[in-house]
Each structure stands twice: as structure tokens, then as C-alpha cells.
Amino acid sequence: MASVIRAKAPLRVSFAGGGTDVSPFPETEGGVVLSSTINRYAWGSLRPRDDGRITVESVDLGLSLDLRAQDAIDLDGNLDLVKAAIRRLGQHERGGYDLVLRSSAPPGSGLGSSSTVMVALVALLQEYYGLPLGEYELAQLAFAIEREDLGIRGGLQDHYAATFGGFNFMEFGERVVVNPLRVRQSVINELELSLLLCFTSITRESAKIIEDQTARVEQKEDGTLEGLRAQKELAIAMKSALLRGELREFGTLLGQAWTEKKRMSPLIATPWIDEIYELACSHGAVGGKVTGAGGGGFILFFCDFDKKHRVTAALEAAGTSVTEFSFEPGGVTTWRA
């Protein structure tokens, strides 16, 4: 019997530059994003079967489907992300398979979960069909399925972060360039000691926020464009601070990135997010920002270590959940079980 194929792809935290990777901004002005993958993952499993059927189970969404490999695949709103990938990559002369997909974070949490699941799925199908894809090709294919085939608004960064892994300074324009950063291990250790993730307990549909931001870019609204341009400058400054080990400066710039991000759309911040943010800062957080499009999900806070426990206690008392994490140096990977 054919072996089972497994895949895992890491989720990410974005430090600065988010939004500059969303069309049409990178085509006109060029975008940059500073991010790193973390020890939270999207997981996938593909078990071949010989009856020509394809089954899919999404653990996160609580949805499943069962179809014949030979049938036309209709995008009808039920697990369209998966069906679009199968339709793009499927080779019907092969037998069927059972797919199971799940993520360490819920959809709409701001850690790039849906795009990371797509990367894990494309990696599974790449391995199953024996497709000769490099890292850039895999990331671009995952992007094309989600953004072009399905028309889901969003940026480029998540697919490339999940594919490459580690600390990266990514450039977006006529082409994507992923620049891996050589961050000293002592700096990574100290950064892990200084950061925490606060879940607002609210998930949101990022596409709506991105649609609003995109419309404002197309209308050339000054506040949105100035916020995006400032994001680029802050991503460059934060990269320098990170490489030089100036982490207090990094934390301050993280807060500035949030200030500029809020200028990009009025949907990004909410009264609840503002309340959480002010609470954290009043108990010793140096700075922080929402990790995704906004409106909910996770907030990343930078704290001095001797005040981190006070920030955590205050946030948990307010009804949020707080967790620490580690950075993941690797990108998407597949293996056979």
C-alpha cells in the first residue's frame, strides 16, 4: 500500500510592512514586509486510495466532502480553497486520496492560517503528483489559487513566509524577493523572552478590511498611502534594529508600526483592541501591533522581561488569552509515514 504523505507549514507573525504586499500598492510603489514564522503550524495528511474517490476533512471548519476524482469540481462555497487546489493540480489518471487538514490557530486569527493551510495543501499535492516546484514556485502557486482562482482579497506575504520559514525581509514589486535574515541566536532568545501573543477572542474576515484598504489606495486617499509608505520605512528600520540586536528600539518601532497601520483603514482598530492595547501599555508593554489585517485576532506585544508577567496578568484579567511562543526557522516540509 502507498505510504501516507504528511505536511506541516509554519504560521507567522508580521512585524511591519503588512498591507504593502496587497495589490495595487506593490505594483506602483513596491512593498516590503518584515516577519518571522513561529512554532504554530498548519498540518496536512494525504492517504492514497484505489477507488478513485477524494475525501476532504477540515478539522478547523468542521466541514468535509466526498467526490470522485474523475468528476468536474465545482466551487460552490464548501471547502473551495481545497477544491480549487485539487482542480489546479489534480491529475485524474491517478487514484483518489483522503485529505485531512488542520491548523494551530483558527481562521481569521491574523497569523496567516488560511494561506498557510493552502501552502501545506499545495506541498502535499506536489509530493503526491511528483511536481518539480521550487520554493518560489510553490509560494506563487498557493497565492494564485487563493487570490486569483478564488478571488479572495489579500496579500502575498503569508504564502512566502510559510514556504520559506524563518526571519525574512520580503520585497514585493514586479517580482517577489525573499531575503533571509541572519539574526543572532542570542537576539532570538531575548526576543522570545520579550514577546507575547494576546488573543482578542475575536476572529474576522480579513478580506473585508483589505477590500476597504484597497479601495482607499485606488482612490489615492492621503492617510492610507501615508500609512503604507510609513510601514515600508518602519520595516526597514526594524530590520536594522533586529540585526543589530537593539531590541528595545525594535519594541518601540513595533508600536509605531501599529500607529501607522491604523491609518490604512478605519476597520483595522476597534474599541476593544484599543482597550486591550492601552491596558497592556499601562502595565509595562513597550509596544505592540495586531498581527494580521486587523479587526481582531492576535496582538503581538513587546515587554521588558521584568514586566511581562504583569502585562500577562492584566490582559488575562480582562478576558483575553495570552501565550508565549518560539520562532520556527524552517518552512513548509513534507514526509512519508
Told to judge if 274 belongs to the known catalytic residues of this protein, a careful annotator would answer no
Contact yes or no for 187/239 (Cβ under 8 A):
no
> Residue type at 40?
R
In total, the chain counts a number of residues equal to 337
Q: Which three cell numbers stand for residue 323?
A: 501565550
> Looking at 21, 80, 158, 212, which residue is catalytic?
158
SS3 for 56? strand
250-253-254-258 Cα dihedral, nearest 10 degrees:
180
The span from the first CA to the last CA of the chain, in angstroms, equals 12
Q: Quick one: CA dihedral 49, 51, 56, 62, positive or negative?
A: negative
Phi-psi category of 112—alpha, beta or left, where left has phi over 0 and alpha has psi -120 to 50? left
Task: Give the position of cell 496587497.
Answer: 22
**Number of neighbours of residue 3 by Cβ within 10 angstroms:** 11
User: Would you name the residues annotated as active-site residues?
Assistant: 158
